[in-house]
Amino acid sequence: MHVLGNRRRHWLVSKDHVDMTAAGPKPKRITLEAEPQRITVDLARTAIIVVDMQNDFCSAGGWLDHIGVDYTPAREPIEPLNRLLPALRSEDVPVIWLNWGNRPDLLNISPSLLHVYNMTGDDVGLGGILPATGSAVLEKDSWGAAVVDELVIEPSDIRVDKYRMSGFWDTPLDSILRNLGIDTLLFAGVNLDQCVMTTLQDAVCLGYNGVLLRDCSATTSPDFCREAALYNIKQCFGFVSSGGAILSALRAG
């Protein structure tokens, strides 16, 4: 028999037989403190999506820094993620880095989206060159689109480029998750009220279970934006927990 697929979801195939019933990973249930209720999740069917922890959003000399936004709040998830991600990897939970990574010609970016980041037409917007670094803003393989150096990306991690606020639009993210047999998504990264929120919303609309990790997420927006996002996630889309709650549950066994 030959295996077609991946370790989590596959068929066993021979010349005269196809076995579609191959067992997935054994369930690994943990119970987390969360809002509005405690939740029990199966780590064997869970992935974490880390959104936009990139130099243009989180580093000195990046895009936000260039346009005068205080980027330091966007760095708050770094240490919590560095504590959480190794523990999740040890439980075989896929780590997905979901990042802006535009085409150099910007042919997949509409004028409406370009306008969001360049309202006067003469600012440094998507694809523009930052004077301090010479990096093209959020262009795939540029310095600005790279994940910050302080976060460790392992070879087993998965990278997905996005081109909108939501990571599900015009990307392979949904196909990857379904082929991994994932039904629960942990969300982290920046900005909580923008790309993290819209990706979580789309995930729930597609039928995934959405869990926002409060301590592993941040925003450079005003506090009322963060509070509104947390309220809407708890009220309409899923649950709010924390990386600390996951670590506590893992230590408790």
Alpha helices in 91-170 (DSSP H): 111-116
Q: What share of the chain is helix, strand, coil (3-state, %, to 5)?
A: 30, 25, 45
Report pLDDT for 121: 82
> Mind listing the pLDDT tens digit for each residue in 67-120?
999 999 999 999 999 999 999 999 999 999 999 999 999 998 989 888 887 888
Report pLDDT for 207: 97
Contact yes or no for 191/230 (Cβ under 8 A): no
Q: Across residues 2-27, what is the average pLDDT?
A: 91
Report pLDDT for 23: 76
Share of the chain above pLDDT 70, in %: 100
Instruction: Please report which confidence band the pLDDT of residue 222 belongs to, taking 50, 70 and 90 as the band edges.
Output: very high
> Mind listing the pLDDT tens digit for each residue in 134-154?
999 999 999 999 999 999 999
Q: Indicate the pTM of the whole model.
A: 0.95
Report pLDDT for 228: 98
- Rounded-to-10 torsion of CA 56, 129, 162, 155: -60
DSSP string, 28-49: -EEEE--BSS-EEEEGGGEEEE
Alpha helices in 20-172 (DSSP H): 55-58, 63-66, 78-90, 111-116
Report pLDDT for 116: 82
Q: Across residues 227-232, what is the average pLDDT?
A: 98
Burial class (CB in 10 A: 0-12, 13-18, 19+), 167: buried
All domains in the chain, ordered by first residue: 24-252 (3.40.50.850)
Helix (H) or strand (E) holding 214: strand 209-217
> Mind listing the pLDDT tens digit for each residue in 37-46?
999 999 999 9
> Mind listing the pLDDT tens digit for each residue in 174-186?
999 999 999 999 9
What is the SS3 assignment for 212?
strand
DSSP string, 155-196: TTSEEEEESSSSTTTTSSHHHHHHHTT--EEEEEES-IIIII
Report pLDDT for 135: 95
> Mind listing the pLDDT tens digit for each residue in 201-215?
999 999 999 999 999
Instruction: Please report which confidence band the pLDDT of residue 123 belongs to, taking 50, 70 and 90 as the band edges.
Output: confident
Question: Could you list the active site residues?
Answer: 52, 162, 195
Report pLDDT for 113: 86
Please, which residues bridge with residue 30 across strands?
41
Report pLDDT for 119: 86
Residue 27 has pLDDT above 90, yes or no: yes
Q: Report d(CA 28, CA 159) in Å as an integer.
A: 24
Report pLDDT for 51: 98
